[in-house]
Chain A
Amino acid sequence: MMLGAYLAYSLIGRFGAGPLGYWGGVLLAALAVGALGVLLERTLLRRLYGAPELLQLIATFGVVLLIKDAALAVWGAEDLLGPRAPGLGGAIAIFGQPVPQYDLLLIVLAPIVLAAMWVALSRTRWGLLVRAATEDREMTAALGVNPSWLFSGVFFVGALLAGLAGALQLPREPANLNMDLTIIADVFVVTVVGGLGSIRGAFVAALIIGIVRALCIGIGDVALFGSVVSFAKLTLVAEFVVMAVVLVARPWGLYGQPPGPSAIAEQRDLQVPPGRRFAIAAALLMAALAAAPLLVDEYALVLGADMLIFALFAVSLHFIMGPGGMASFGHAAYFGLGAYAAALATRSMPMELALIVAPLAAGIGALVFGWFCVRLSGVYLAMLTLAFAQITWATVYQWDALTGGSNGLVGVWPAVWLSSRVAYYWLTLAIAGGAIALLWRVVFAPFGYALRAVRDSPQRAAAIGIDVRAVRWAGFVLAGLAAGLAGSLYAFSKGSISPDSLSIPRSIDALVMVLLGGLQTLFGPVVGAALLAWLQDTLARHTEYWRAMLGAAILVLVLLFPQGIVGALGAAARALRQRGIGKRAAAA
């Protein structure tokens, strides 16, 4: 969509702003985006169809980063406002209010596109095949349909419509580089609120969200609890509030169907408790890390502390995603809650105490949000976690008096005896390392097994007397506590804290760390966290286009190691060992 806007800008610029040039530009831009979508699908994403769904999402994120920097390189960082559509520059008075003609055109155009999609999906052979292939790809292939081109076709239409939307939006809103994540979030929200797979649902959801936003702007500033709450600014989260309400009331969206039990059970690897060798290796690693301040400079120590903090953050997310089977798209909420709680608590109590209290605040957040989230599953659960994270973010962003709003809080420094870089590094190592070890212990204690039991087969878990929701809820809270601890360590290491610490990109970072390292492994998230922290730091220092490099690095890693890095290493080690056994058997 962002590309659509930019391309339309360029094409209209080239063809001139006459009617032919304008509409030709819009259409060509849409077609070009569609073609690019197909190219991406055929070269990249299709290699990932066998991989876990979440990994596909991460790959898409990598593509977004790449495209964003490509747009930056070609069109620069300036916002580009497109020309008015020829002949539609005026306004028409409706109920005494002038309404731009162009807006009226869009109001007419949207239902037409909607109707066309509906007809294409429900009345044509192509639509029938697409729906069949979505239900059961293998069966459709067995019936002699090539699902490969079918999916490319779907991608083409999807990208084309997105490009069209971007191009059409151009005269109303300048093309800018922040269109990407905001809009991806919007689109996910609309789809989920409507119910996956329901076009009618998506349309109704878009309407509701639009109306709520308009209402927020209309209400304006209202005094609430002694401070002024600006409803106008709430438009930032209106859609997430709507989503939270809808998902709590209707767990499958407005028009969605409860997902049937999946026909193919997910392949689960046997998870063996780590043995003595793992414990020794971990102890050696801790010793090496403890010795690091003797060998490296201060800059490396700061980076090292960041890596440790993110390792704890990633392990806490892995705890609910791996053993718990609950993907959280809003894990940054607990990280941020911990960070802000630490910053606020340190004003009224010693830093050491704040470090204990702050994670509890995150835990309470997880207790409240988790109660709703554990009732859902799959994508719906992930989206509800995202909604709560965005609501938390908006609250922090708005509540100037307490949180400093967009500026955040400064002067969050550790106690004097911890103020040197080395001392704080050691503190981070001890706390993060200890917390990670504890979480790993829980994974192989009865509670961890209960969590996995609930993931592997909720039906069976209930049949042996496990309270499925309570176990998931407890797991959610534990992960929230650990993320909050990571967040409070982060606040004291930086000395300041801003709303960025609980924004969507931070949540995505955590997801990338876990999946890069390997969801099915124990050590994976630690490796993923260290790698991502290092990549971000190095790339940001060496190139202006670090986002593109990061996106490319993520894509390469995802393509090379669909099981994650540690997962791939583990598989290689097993293969080697088996060959060894084979050789010995042959020798005997």
Chain B
Amino acid sequence: MTQPLLAIRGIAKAFGGVQALAGVSFDVGAGERVAVIGPNGAGKTTLFNVLDGQLAPDRGSAVLAGRALIGLSSQAIARLGVGRTFQVTATFASMTVRENVQVALLAQRGQTYALLSPLRARLADEAQSLLKQVGIDSLSERAAATLAYGDLKRLELAVALAGTPRLLLMDEPTAGLAPPERARLMRQVSDLARLAGSAVLFTEHDMDVVFAHADRIVVLNRGRVIAIGAPSAVRANPEVRNVYLGSGRDPEARDA
């Protein structure tokens, strides 16, 4: 591989006596879809919170296209082209669906401090077309607080895409959805990311989703990378089988 988009090296983070991350290193290539999997408490969400600036690691580095991310604030990292969706959806409840996307577009263009001209017309068309891409353009006038969970996840995706990210960090993009909807949403994510040329780093419990949509898989256990590679290689890895089941069962057969 040539220069990776994101190079993660030796990231460690302890909470009290618990070593949540114990020196994690891997790369994400431009446009690549990488899944981070592992049992509960493996350190997946901690890793994401370090990468997007919410948590400072004890050691280690993360470099995005030549820029060091560690030490930057969340908003600075966002401006470098890192989009994020959260495990528990976070949207602006007092705004309509379209306004949610408009605010994201404005932030990306540095128009946050415009004081007097109304928001209403600004970038409305662009927001609408992003909503159309994720398939909820018919809901654009609804209050974000009233959306069904699946649509809320789509809104988050549209908001994350508004920053034309080079890298999308998605913490459990399909959590809380029924299996058929999970597959549909993840297909959308894959298509849109490919279209925008964004790399996707995501965590996921649903192994069907992981094996269908990841180019590569990173397996974490107790804060360490225990396997890394193409889905078929990871599936065959005995240590991964051991971690997941303590037996020889296929991780794909695990109930999410």
Contact = CB atoms under 8 A, between A and B. Distances in A.
Contacts of B3: none
A46 interface: no
Contacts of B104: 464
B75 A468 contact: yes
Given A460-B159, A463-B74, A463-B78, A446 B112 contact: yes
Interface in A404-457: 438, 441-442, 444-450, 452-453, 455-457
A267 B94 CA distance: 9
Interface stretch (A19-27, A128-136, A247-255, A268-276): A268-276
Chain B contact patch, size range: 35 or more
Interface residues of A, number: 34
A462 B116 contact: no
B79 interface: yes
A449 B102 contact: yes
Contacts of B216: none
A169 B54 CA distance: 49
Contacts of A455: 94
A208 interface: no
Interface stretch (B34-42, B83-91, B175-183, B237-245): B83-91
B113 interface: yes
A446 B94 contact: no
A455 B92 CA distance: 8
A465 B116 contact: no
A464 B93 contact: no
Interface stretch (B10-18, B62-70, B118-126, B127-135): B118-126
Contacts of A461: 75, 92, 107
B112 A447 contact: yes
Contacts of A463: 52, 74, 78, 83-84, 86, 90, 160
Given A268-B93, A464-B163, A450 B106 contact: yes
Contacts of B160: 463-464
Interface in B43-61: 52-54
Interface string A365-380: 0000000000000000
**The 8 A-B residue pairs with the shortest CB-CB distance in the complex, in nearest-first order:** A462-B74, A465-B78, A270-B143, A460-B90, A268-B93, A456-B92, A268-B94, A446-B114
Interface of A: 265, 267-271, 273, 438, 441-442, 444-450, 452-453, 455-457, 459-468, 471, 474
Interface of B: 52-54, 73-75, 78-79, 83-84, 86, 90-96, 99, 102-104, 106-108, 111-120, 122, 143, 145, 159-160, 162-163
14 contacts: A268-B145, A271-B95, A446-B117, A449-B103, A456-B91, A459-B86, A460-B92, A462-B53, A463-B52, A463-B84, A464-B159, A465-B108, A466-B107, A468-B75
